[in-house]
Amino acid sequence: MKHLRTLATVALLAATIFASPTGARAEDLSVDPSSWDFGEVAVGKSVARSFTITSIGTSDVSVYLLLLTPDEIYSPPTCGEDVECDFAIMSSPGLPVILPPGTATVVEVTFTPSAIGSAAAFLYLRSNDTYPPPGSVAFLPLTGVGVEPSPDPAALMTDLLEFFGDAVDAGTVWGVGPGSSARHRLDAFRHQLIEAASLIDHNAEWSACIALQAARAKADGESRPPDFVAGPAVGELVTRIDEVRDALGCP
């Protein structure tokens, strides 16, 4: 009987040893946020997000692998090495990193869409936070959408001034009024456009909106206020003014 009790004790001890994890417990590691939607980002632009990895248990946690992957599999391909991705790790701790209880480290990930449309990847993390796998592996979903870049107001304004100058030279836009007043009104209209361009260059968007609205009112064909310019190209001129105003976000 004593022999049987001894065997039972040995068997229980062996079961306990082999059932115990060789690393930290599952609840000893947290990542904040656990997923992230970067939202809409203009193609070619970058948006960054930091992920904080914290040791919250009573024992050290060793993080020994951090990478980005398009697939949620145990041995995934790596973004930037095996496959092209729109996500990239910009900064991370030197690995392996040992996190004593209460300490944290930060990983910064960027989303730079290369095309219009949805994109997705995973921040892949491996640690001794429970063993064997898959407990030691974490997949943090990353999503984002590439959208058409917003027009550049300064570039649109440059095109508008060039269009206006070409139209005046071609005789498709002219000043309105008797005698020399036609030339004076044409010059005044030109100066309003030049003033708007200068305000845009100095980041005075609100003032540029006002200047452009004043110029538009002098080319819209309405009786009040009277127009300063006329001609077959005026409709296109007004359209281009509206494009600049839309790019500025004018009301």
pLDDT of res. 132: 55
Q: Residues 54, 81, 133, CA angle at the centre, nearest 5°?
A: 45
- Of 57 and 210, the structure prediction assigns the larger pLDDT to 210
* b/e 98-118 (16+ beta carbons within 10 angstroms → b): ebeeeeebebebbbbbeeeee
Which residue carries 């005698």 as its tokens? 179
- Look at residue 128 in the predicted model and tell me its pLDDT: 85
| pLDDT of 95 higher than 80 | yes
pLDDT > 60? residue 162 = yes
Q: Specify the fold of 22-147.
A: Immunoglobulin-like (2.60.40)
In the predicted structure, residue 31 carries a pLDDT above the cut 60: yes
**pLDDT tens digits along 134-150:** 557 889 999 999 999 98
Residue 9 has pLDDT above 50, yes or no: no
Over residues 5-32, the mean pLDDT reads 46
Q: What does the pLDDT read at residue 16?
A: 28
Q: What percent of the chain has pLDDT over 90?
A: 73
Given a cut of 80, whether residue 24 has pLDDT beyond it is no
Which pLDDT value is given to residue 25? 55
With beta carbons less than 8 A apart as the criterion, state whether 182 and 174 touch: yes
pLDDT of 212 > 70? The answer is: yes
**Least confident window among 70-79, 160-169, 170-179, 197-206:** 70-79
Peptide bond into 178 cis (omega under 30): no
Domain ranges of the chain: 22-147, 153-248
* Selection from 2-6, 15-19, 26-30, 240-244 with the highest mean pLDDT: 240-244
Dist CA 118 CA 87 (whole Å): 12
